[in-house]
Each structure stands twice: as C-alpha cells, then as structure tokens.
Amino acid sequence: MAAYIIRRLFAAVLLLLVVSAVTFAIFFLVPRIAGQTVDQLAAQYVGKDANADAIAAVKKNLGFDQPIYAQYWHFIKAVVAGADYKFGPDASHCAAPCFGYSFKSHVEVWPQLTSRIPVTLSLAIGAAVIWLISGVAVGVLSALKRGTFFDRFFMGVALAGVSLPIFFTGMLALGILTVQWPVWGSGINYVSFTDNPAQWAWNLLVPWCSLAFLYSALYARLTRAGMLETMSEDYIRTARAKGLKESTVVAKHGLRSALTPIVTIFGMDFGLLLGGAVITETVFSFKGIGEYAVKGIQDNDLPIVMGVTLVAAFFIVLCNLLVDLVYAAIDPRVRYS
C-alpha cells in the first residue's frame, strides 16, 4: 500500500512538471508563432503609457530578454528554492515555494493563492456535501420508485438542473434573494469560518445550493441509472431470496455497488472544483482560486495562470489518488499490494 502511494506521488510530481512546461509553452511559444515580438509581450505589462524606456525596463525585469528555456528553469528553481526579485529600492526574497510575482502588479503569487484556498475549499466542501446527499438520495429513491410521480418530478427537476448553467441559476438566486425578497439584503459576501462560523455558513448557503443544484442533478441521474442496473442483478435477487431485509438489500448490496462510478466521478469533480469554481466564484464575486484564475487570464499574467493551473492539477491528482484508495474500501476486489 505504502509503495503504491509513493509511486503515485512520484508520478504526480512528473505530471505537474509536464503541466507546467505545457502552460509555459502555450504562454510564450504560441504568441511567438503568431508573430508577437518580445517587446509587444512586455508592453502588455506596462500600463497605458507604454514608452520605449518603460518597455525595455519591464522586459529586463521580468526576464523576457532571456531564452525561454532559461525562463522556465528560473521558474522551476524558484518553486523549489525560492528567488530574489527587485521591484523597488531593495531586492526582496520570495521563499520556496515561490510561484513568482504577478507580471502586472508585482505582488507575490503564492500568498495570494493560499489566501484564496479557504474560500474555494469552503465553497467546494459545502456544495459537495449537499449534492452528494441530495443527489444520491434522490437517485436511489427515484430508482426504487421508478415510474412514479416522485421519480418523474425529480428527474424533471434534475433535467432542468443539468441544463441550467450556474451563471443563470446563480444570478437568478442573487437577483431574487438580495433584491426581490432581500433575505440577504446586504449582499452575499464571503465571511471567514474562523471569524464567524454561523455567518460563514449563512452567506455560503446560496452559492452552495446554486452549485449543488447543478451537480446533484447530475448525480441523481447517475445514481438512478446505477441503482436500476444493480437492482436487476442476480445477486440482489439472491439476497432477497435468502430473506434479507429490503433496507439491507438496498443499502449493503445495491448501493455499495452502484456507488463505485459515483465515487470516481466525484473525485474528478471535487478536484476540479478545488482548482477553482470559476463561474460560481465570479457570479458571487468570491475571491477564490477560480476568480484569481480569471483575473490572471484576462491580464495575460503568466505567474498567476501558472500558479492556479498547478494548484488545480495538484488537487485533481490528489483527489484521484484518494478515490483509488477509497476503491479498496468499497470494492472488495481491489487490492493495492
């Protein structure tokens, strides 16, 4: 088991390296293929008054005058060993893991990222709890009561949930709950959990539900399909035939098997969300990883894009690893040794 985890972690590091190299290449090489000069690249970070002196200074300070492989090497070195930068009278040290400084604002990326992780984490965990519970519950009940009003009604809602994008449901919820019936009359703002847990949950409720609406719909349909398939298996009939209680049949034999694909997709979804619930964070103006990513992309700010990409990739890899470990627990056939 330990050897398996170590092997997987090693692979993860390699994967992150590849992701970073690809991001770097897309950023620097693609514009160059399209004919952009290094000066034009640097001019994007100079502000409105891009005179030649300013462009030259920025180009030098951001290291654009060096070959791309050297720039990549500096980036990787900074992540591992830290680096020194000079954006003022004195040089300042950026300790490892140093993801560099924003090209635009010259502010360190890593502290920005870490300060935003709690926001994204709060959003993702709360939403995940809601969508897992409601999605799986609705899915199971719909499967068991197949064809009834309950099934049809909730599958109808689920269809709506899958089809309605979050920028619609989220904006709608915001419009209704802050203006129409101002339950959240002073707006929905993120409050840190450590500051005020009650306020934290209260203000996150709407984003959680908007996000969970989309996912639980998906999960309900998945669970329903999985349950329907499992419940028609021979071993379920056997379980019933040997006189087990229906609840035991459903929970221990049906659900456990139907859950395997749900866990897989949950790992992917959750990892992806931790890398930034881009649309939800934008709609609710939450300062999470996703919102940071949008800003980085809008500004063509490579260190930010790089930081967010790597954090997202890290979470996806991590969640997938956890999923694989969970398999061992829920599927007796899986062994890592």
Q: Which residues bind other proteins (CB under 8 A)?
A: 36, 40, 43-51, 53-54, 57-58, 60-61, 86-90, 92, 101, 105-107, 112, 115, 147, 149, 152-157, 159-160, 164, 171-172, 174-176, 178-182, 185-187, 282-285, 287, 291-292, 295, 300
Least separation in angstroms between residue 136's CB and other proteins is 19
**Least distance in angstroms from the C-beta of 182 to other proteins:** 6
> With respect to other proteins, which residue has the nearer C-beta, 36 or 264?
36
CB of 307 to other proteins, least distance (A): 13
Read off the tokens for 60: 């030098």
Residues 244-272: b if buried by 16+ CB within 10 A, e if exposed: eeeeebbeebbbebbbbebbeebbebbbb
Length of the chain counted residue by residue = 337
Cβ proximity to other proteins: between 111 and 197 the closer is 111
CA-CA-CA-CA torsion for 179, 184, 187, 190, nearest 10 degrees?
A: -150
Query: If residue 164 lies in a helix (H) or strand (E), which one and from where to where?
Result: none
For residue 134, give the H/E element and its range.
helix 109-144
| CB of 105 or CB of 264, closer to other proteins | 105
The answer to whether 188 and 178 are in contact (CB under 8 A) is: yes
Helix (H, G, I), strand (E, B) or coil at 83: strand
Q: How far apart are CA 130 and CA 258, in angstroms?
A: 19
CB of 248 to other proteins, least distance (A): 30
Residue whose CB is less far from other proteins, 15 or 294:
294
In this complex, which beta carbon is closest to other proteins, that of residue 178 or of residue 320? 178
Angle at 269 between CA 265 and CA 273, to 5 degrees: 170
Cα–Cα distance for residue pair 126/211, rounded to 1 Å: 10
Min dist CB 70 to other proteins, Å, is 19
Cβ atoms of 306 and 24 within 8 Å: the answer is yes
How far apart are CB 297 and other proteins at their closest, in Å?
A: 12
The nearer residue to other proteins, 8 or 106, going by C-beta atoms, is 106
Closest distance of CB 277 from other proteins, Å: 14
Q: Which lies closer to other proteins via its Cβ, residue 250 or residue 302?
A: 302
Shortest reach from residue 34's CB to other proteins, in Å: 10
Which of 206, 319 has the CB closer to other proteins? 206
> Both ends of the chain: CA-CA distance in Å?
5
10 Å CB burial of residue 103 (0-12, 13-18, 19+) is buried
> Contact 220/142 with Cβ under 8 angstroms?
yes
